[in-house]
Amino acid sequence: MVSMTRGAYAKPGTSLDFKTGNWRSTEMPAHIHAKAPCHAACPAGEDQQAWFAKLQEGHAEAAWAELVRANPLPAITGRVCPHPCEGACNRAALDGALAIHNVERWLGDEAIRNGWDYPVAAPRANAPEVGIVGAGPAGISAAYHCLRHGLRATIYEASPEAGGLLRAAIPQTRLPRAPLDAELSRVLALPGITLNLRTRLGRDVSLEELRHNHPAVLLAPGCQASTAWSVDGAVPADLREGLHMLKDFVDHGALPEAERVVVHGGGNTAMDLCRLLKRSGSKQVTLITASGLPGPDTDPSDEINVVPRELEEALEEGIEIIDHATINRLIMKGSRVTGVEIMSLRKLPGRDGRSHRIGFEGTERVVAVDMVIPCIGERVEPQGLSGLVERGYLRPSDRFGRLNEGELFALGDARGDRGTVAAAIGDGALAASAVARHLAGEADPVVDDRPEMPNAGLNLTYYDHLPRAEAPKLSVEERTFDTEIEGDIGRVAAMAEAERCLSCGNCLACDNCWTFCPDNAVIKTVELALDGSHYLFDLDYCKGCGLCAHECPTGFIQMLPNANGATEGAV
């Protein structure tokens, strides 16, 4: 018989001899890293869960480094992104979504204040050099991601300064010059990026030259050409298109004077312009948009395409919004407009399977106005891109932005299916990754098709109530033309906000599984386990009760069909 010594550990004679793992009949626990919904919703591809985790550990610089793996411009997106991540955040149903954009902005500003180094190495001197047209967010992001893949990048920008619409159109009240300049110059100064200003494709350089000089060319010229606007052929003599008016204002602070203004459109340009006009003294500013205001009855695809905070602030400031409506007719006195006829409409499915906007007869009404400003979008300026522009845009054939022309890509607004800074940044990352793989002779990167972690997959018992932190904001009376309206959330609130992250789909090392397993089949390790957690399942003893999966707050443990005799390494 076996002799037992005191403390004879894992030796014959103890119950460890008896492998209860073979009791598992149908299911076994496994660590599954599902996508956090914030990550899945982020057009720039950030993994907010990952960088919040670093903040929870108290490491702000590491959190920033994790963030800029995807998005090199957090001080900018933290200010202007419509943050779909917050709309998707699982904490919304609990006590309010995480204030992701405020913390993102704080991290971006901290990096500028402290001069944190971007986690990229200088590329080799003979590394392939990718050509990029346009130094808007798409082009700059593409250049940065080229560096991350060991490539060099040369940017050709028509304007005297980099930034694209960030500089040319977004008002300082939302995006002040200081963080914009600081963040852009930090990225553009990285070794391996060459920026050629005042170099316009189609004037100073041709596409043929670029394609000859670079193994791949990325086109990120944005949309510069205005679309013609007229109502039944009537065009007021003093008609000015919204984006130009806005750019003029951003350049030299000039705005036209008018008592009663109607702005026609449903995007950022329209919204920014409405607010500026109101602030500059117009009595009555009305936005007419074919889209709907956000609400339970509005289909998200039909929602007005602006930053939610901007809409809220515009309403605070007294902007009148007539949604689901269009301008049917202009009422002119000579060549001057004196009124508009408005008609209700809706987006409805048509017989061809596509949605159409249908106006409703009998809903016409007339509003007296002094000025009408169309803000109905821009298209790609075809100069230098002959043959590539198709119905106004570059319209690439895949998610990487590839045009059917060898290593030629279209990014950002020029694609025609984008429209935010974050999407432009995401495009930069996608195109650079595809180019890098191509140049290395490899296939395109695989799509991350992991499922998302829904709210129902979490165990909310384990999250204490913590209210969302609010950033300071100027009151309506305090708002001017140049002071930023939303303030800094600050270190204390940013760190507290990070504590609120539920860590959806990824282990937060809470020890619940380790504490609750009745069979000691969860083993804690100091080292990271292969799946990135600190825990192993000892399938020699796990009976498959499912308790750990049920009590895992984050949904990181899921029960899978039992695998016969499988064990997870030597335990």
Partner 1 sequence: MSAESERAERLTELRQKFGRKPLAPGEETIPHSPREAQPKFRGLDSGHRACQGCGEALAARLVMESAGPDVMIANATGCLEVFTTPWPQSAWRVPWVHSLFENAAAVASGMEAAMKAQGKNTKVLAFGGDGGTYDIGFQALSGMLERYHNVLYVCYDNEAYMNTGIQRSSSTPHSATTTTSPAGKERMGKRHLKKDLLSIIAAHHIPYAASASVAFPADLQRKVRYAMGIDGPTFLVIHSPCPLGWKHASALTIQVARRAVECGLFPLVEIERGALTNVMPIRDVRPVTDYLSIQGRFSHLMDTEDTRAEEERAHLQALADYNIQVFSLQGDGEDPVDTGGSAAVGRSGHAARRA
Ligand X SMILES: Cc1cc2nc3c(=O)[nH]c(=O)nc-3n(C[C@H](O)[C@H](O)[C@H](O)COP(=O)(O)OP(=O)(O)OC[C@H]3O[C@@H](n4cnc5c(N)ncnc54)[C@H](O)[C@@H]3O)c2cc1C
Q: Is 462 in the site for partner 1 (CB under 8 A)?
A: yes
* Gap between the Cα atoms of 428 and 132, Å rounded: 10
Nearer to ligand X, 100 or 135 (CB): 135
CB 57 within 8 A of CB 428: no
In the bound complex, what is the minimum distance in angstroms from residue 60's beta carbon to partner 1?
15
The entry of ligand SF4, ligand X, partner 1, none near residue 13 (CB within 5 to 8 angstroms by kind) is partner 1
In the bound complex, what is the minimum distance in angstroms from residue 530's beta carbon to partner 1?
13
| 3-state SS, one letter per residue, for 287-336 | EECCCECCCCCCCHHHECCCCHHHHHHHHHCCCEEECCEEEEEEEEECCE
The entry of partner 1, ligand X, ligand SF4, none near residue 91 (CB within 5 to 8 angstroms by kind) is ligand SF4
Phi and psi at residue 524, to the nearest 5°:
-95, 140
Residue 274, H or E segment: helix 268-279
Q: Is 524 in the site for partner 1 (CB under 8 A)?
A: yes
Nearer to ligand X, 199 or 338 (CB): 199
Spell out the residues 6+ positions from residue 462 whose beta carbon is closer than 8 angstroms to its own. Answer: 510, 512, 551, 553
Give the count of beta carbons closer than 10 Å to the beta carbon of residue 258.
20
Binding test (CB under 8 A) with partner 1, winner from 255, 331, 332, 466: 466
> Which contacts qualify for 559-563: CB closer than 8 Å, 24 or more apart?
559/27, 559/28, 559/29, 559/30, 560/27, 560/28, 560/29, 560/30, 560/32, 561/26, 561/27, 561/28, 562/24, 562/25, 562/26, 562/27, 562/28, 563/28
Q: Is 553 in the site for partner 1 (CB under 8 A)?
A: yes
Nearer to ligand X, 36 or 307 (CB): 307
Q: Is 510 in the site for partner 1 (CB under 8 A)?
A: yes
In the bound complex, what is the minimum distance in angstroms from residue 381's beta carbon to ligand X?
6
Site string for partner 1, 236-275 (x = CB under 8 A): ----------------------------------------
Buried b (16+ CB within 10 A) or exposed e, 501-539: bbbbbbbbbeebbbeebebebbbeeeeebebebbbbbbb
CB 499 within 8 A of CB 466: yes
The entry of partner 1, ligand SF4, ligand X, none near residue 462 (CB within 5 to 8 angstroms by kind) is partner 1
The entry of partner 1, ligand SF4, ligand X, none near residue 194 (CB within 5 to 8 angstroms by kind) is none
Chain contacts with ligand X (rule: CB under 6 A): 80-82, 133-139, 156-159, 164-166, 169-170, 200-202, 220-222, 224, 243, 246, 268-269, 272, 307, 381, 384, 412-414, 419-422, 424
* Gap between the Cα atoms of 66 and 3, Å rounded: 54
The entry of ligand SF4, ligand X, partner 1, none near residue 557 (CB within 5 to 8 angstroms by kind) is ligand SF4
Residue 37, H or E segment: helix 37-41
Chain contacts with ligand SF4 (rule: CB under 6 A): 29, 36-38, 48-49, 52, 89-91, 98, 100, 501-504, 507-513, 517, 519, 521-522, 533, 535, 537, 542-548, 552-554, 556-557
Nearer to partner 1, 10 or 254 (CB): 10
In the bound complex, what is the minimum distance in angstroms from residue 56's beta carbon to partner 1?
4
Spell out the residues 6+ positions from residue 408 whose beta carbon is closer than 8 angstroms to its own. Answer: 211, 216, 217, 219, 402
Residues that bind partner 1 (CB under 8 A): 1-2, 7, 9-10, 13-20, 23, 53, 56-57, 461-466, 496, 499-500, 503, 508-512, 515-521, 523-526, 536, 538, 540-541, 543-547, 549-551, 553, 559, 570-571
